[in-house]
């Protein structure tokens, strides 16, 4: 088996705001496997500033992988544990290699166009007018679950936006989730959660920054609004670390981003642990191209979750790859009458 890799820069159609700054581009990497005339493609969704594998020797690890594909998979896994996005890219490429086509990793009713996946409509940070326009657009597009990133504006402005949505749409009409990306301080977080809970929100993601276990555990114990951990999972590689975190903090939900936590194998591990501890979960993409999004969506469908998932729509980037992924009525669909168009140098 031969391996090769390349870098690809995704360009946002419009700069997108997060509590970590405004994103204009998104770096990603791809690996290609070749064996017996077949090709497998995987995306290594590095997320600068967030991934634990955001380090100077990232490309060196990709090169090492391509030169050592003859090794046992467990040896490779142990070598790449601190590089979750690369291991996920390898997982994806191996499934791609074995599939009926490079992009058919988990055949199901989703890939056969019979059943879509319910997803949340993401409202990006920005000024009030921009956020209001996004809300109207998502509701008109048929989304019944909205996720709003908060922390860019002052809390009162964001609270008023959420209040306006709830005034127009009851919780039975629209499910509202918010993502603070660690934007609250431990000192005022509980007060803000109490106010937000009056708007009948579904949950809040990562109200305070990760690695503050005692403060987060106290919040999860006292909160009137369910808390979902997101960034808190990043960097917890060993099962014992994961177990300790869940049992200590006792969150209401965890959110799984395969590119940031180590792929399908790691996601399965987290799901098993969450269900053992009566913790809810859902799966989210992390600004991958349509190649990574396709793999995550196919995997997500096999998990049979009843919650709307946090999967992207593929529409953020001007140079994304044409794919069979289509959003209709707030759901992600796989339509077989639309072909892939992948313009990577090695494909």
H helices, E strands: number in the chain: 11, 13
Residue 346: inside a domain, yes or no?
no
pLDDT digits (tens, 9 = 90+) for 28-52: 999 999 999 999 999 999 999 999 9
Residue 53: inside a domain, yes or no?
yes
Q: Indicate which residues carry an active-site annotation.
A: 149, 257
Are 126 and 253 part of one and the same domain? yes
pLDDT digits (tens, 9 = 90+) for 286-313: 999 999 999 999 999 999 999 999 999 9
pLDDT digits (tens, 9 = 90+) for 94-134: 999 999 999 999 999 999 999 999 999 998 877 788 888 98
Q: How many domains does the chain fold into? A: 2
- State which residues form the domain around 194: 117-334
Are 88 and 212 part of one and the same domain? no
Residue 151: inside a domain, yes or no?
yes
Enter the pTM of the model: 0.95
Are 133 and 35 part of one and the same domain? no
- Which of 66, 98, 130 marks a domain boundary? 98
Are 217 and 324 part of one and the same domain? yes
Q: Check if the beta carbon of residue 252 is closer than 8 Å to that of residue 227.
A: yes
CATH of the domain at 329: 3.20.20.120
Q: Check if the beta carbon of residue 193 is closer than 8 Å to that of residue 218.
A: no
Residue 108: inside a domain, yes or no?
no
CA distance 102 to 97: 6
Residue 342: inside a domain, yes or no?
no
Are 238 and 326 part of one and the same domain? yes
CATH of the domain at 66: 3.30.390.10
CA distance 248 to 271: 17
Please give the order of strands across the beta sheet that includes 117-118: 117-118, 331-334, 325-328
Residue 321: inside a domain, yes or no?
yes
**pLDDT at position 18:** 64
Count Cα atoms within 13 angstroms, Cβ side, for 28.
27
What percentage of the chain reaches a pLDDT higher than 90?
85
Q: Check if the beta carbon of residue 45 is closer than 8 Å to that of residue 21.
A: no
Residue 110: inside a domain, yes or no?
no
As a whole number, the mean pLDDT across the chain is 94
């Amino acid at each position: 088996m031969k391996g090769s890799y390349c870098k690809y820069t995704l360009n946002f159609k419009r700069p997108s705001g997060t509590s970590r700054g405004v994103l204009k581009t998104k770096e990603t990497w791809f690996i290609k496997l070749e064996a017996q005339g077949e090709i497998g493609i995987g995306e290594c969704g590095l997320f600068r500033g967030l991934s634990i594998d955001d380090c100077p020797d990232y490309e060196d690890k990709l090169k090492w992988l391509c030169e050592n594909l003859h090794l046992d998979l467990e040896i490779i896994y142990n070598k790449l544990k601190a590089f979750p996005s690369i291991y996920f890219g390898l997982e994806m490429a191996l499934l791609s290699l074995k599939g009926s086509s490079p992009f058919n990793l988990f055949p199901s009713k989703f890939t056969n166009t019979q059943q879509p996946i319910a997803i949340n409509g993401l409202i990006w940070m920005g000024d009030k007018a921009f956020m209001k326009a996004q809300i109207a657009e998502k509701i008109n597009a048929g989304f019944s679950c909205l996720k709003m990133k908060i922390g860019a504006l002052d809390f009162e402005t964001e609270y008023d936006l959420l209040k306006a949505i709830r005034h127009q749409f009851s919780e039975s009409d629209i499910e509202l989730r918010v993502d603070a990306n660690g934007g609250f301080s431990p000192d005022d977080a509980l007060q803000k959660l109490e106010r937000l809970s009056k708007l009948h929100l579904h949950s809040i993601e990562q109200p305070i920054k990760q690695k503050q276990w005692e403060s987060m555990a106290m919040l999860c114990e006292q909160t009137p609004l369910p808390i979902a951990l997101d960034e808190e999972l990043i960097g917890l590689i060993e099962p014992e670390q994961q177990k300790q975190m869940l049992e200590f903090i006792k969150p209401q939900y965890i959110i799984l981003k395969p590119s940031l936590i180590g792929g399908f194998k790691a996601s399965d591990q987290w799901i098993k642990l969450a269900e053992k501890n009566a913790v809810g979960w859902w799966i989210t993409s992390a600004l991958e191209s349509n190649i990574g999004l396709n793999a995550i969506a196919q995997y997500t469908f096999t998990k049979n979750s009843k919650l709307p998932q946090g999967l992207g729509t593929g529409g953020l980037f001007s140079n994304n790859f044409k794919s069979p992924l289509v959003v209709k009525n707030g759901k992600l669909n796989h339509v077989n009458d639309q072909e892939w168009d992948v313009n990577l140098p090695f494909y």
